[in-house]
Amino acid sequence: MNQPNFITDHKSKVFPIIGIILIIFFIFIAVLSFARIYLGKPLVEESGNVGIVELNGVILDSKEIIEQLEDFRKDNDIKAIIVRVDSPGGSVGPSQEIYEEIQRVKKTKKVIASLGNIAASGGYYAIAAADRIVANPSTITGSIGVIAEFMNVKNLVEWAKLKPITLKSGKYKDMGSGFRDMTEEEKALMTGLLKDIHNQFIEAVSSGRGLDKTKVASIADGRVFTGREAKERGLVDELGGLEFSKDVAQKLAGIKEEVKAMYPKKPGMQFLNMLLDEKAEGKLQNFLQSSSWAKYKLLLSPVLSSLFVSERTLDIK
């Protein structure tokens, strides 16, 4: 006996789903447009003439900051770059790399350092080569020095009746181990290492700020300064906040129009930029011809193709 045929109309299922998706999409766009009009600040990146790179927190890696500096260096619309610092310092290597990248960027564009709440040790080292350094009067900065700390748990281990065993290829390989006292020879080696790094720090500040090395060395004892004190010692050029730094950038770079700050672009924001831009019509054509649209088209193709399928018949016998 033949079973009845069941006809599944795919359009009847697809259209409500697509309708809901479109409604959510347009509500989302309306919210972003409202924010743009009434808050006066777009929620996505736009073009600008002054790039702003943020150096926040402990400096452990330089990759992201260097990439942002490099992107702004290559952007012909960007006339100057502000590095906004709020960092207590961090690793020496990444700080040096950011310092060197700023030296490279300033060959073609003006770089201004804007010091926020704190820009000490590696946080200052990284931006010492900037064309101009601006700090708030109460900014904590300076701390030109190097430190290495070791925890000795030898007595604790002995109390716990534990016996560490160390195998090494050379007598200095476990230098700084917390399971034993450091020898005088090892202390001398470590002190020499710190002195060399400290001297590199002093030379970087001397070169970047155009100060006599002896003068820098006299204040490179690890002490911190307020922004006002740092200005008196030549570590800072002017006192002011981020907005004042934009004025400095405008003046140094010779920007005649109003300063329009631009933050680094985030991945996946091209589509929203296109939707919220005042010149959306022209950008729509460019977007449809871009590789970005090819990725969206690939994702949407199953939905689009289903619109042209009126029905499919499934015979169950």
Site of tokens 């230098």: 175
Annotated catalytic residue, options 87, 121, 143, 206: 121
138 noted as active-site residue: no
Helix axes 291-306, 280-288, angle to 10 degrees: 80
CA–CA gap between residue 23 and residue 1 (Å, rounded): 47
Residue of 173, 187, 195, 295 with catalytic role: 173
Cα–Cα distance measured from residue 89 to residue 70, given in angstroms and rounded to the nearest whole number: 22
Spatial CA neighbour of 176 closest among 191, 163, 162, 161: 191
Q: What is each CA distance from 176 to 129, 235, 266, in whole angstroms?
A: 33, 34, 42
Assess whether 173 carries a catalytic annotation. yes
Close Cβ partners of 148 (under 8 Å, ≥ 6 residues apart):
176, 190, 193, 194
CA nearest 88: which of 125, 64, 120, 111? 120
Collapsing DSSP to helix, strand or coil, 221 comes out as: coil
Q: Which residues are catalytic?
A: 121, 173
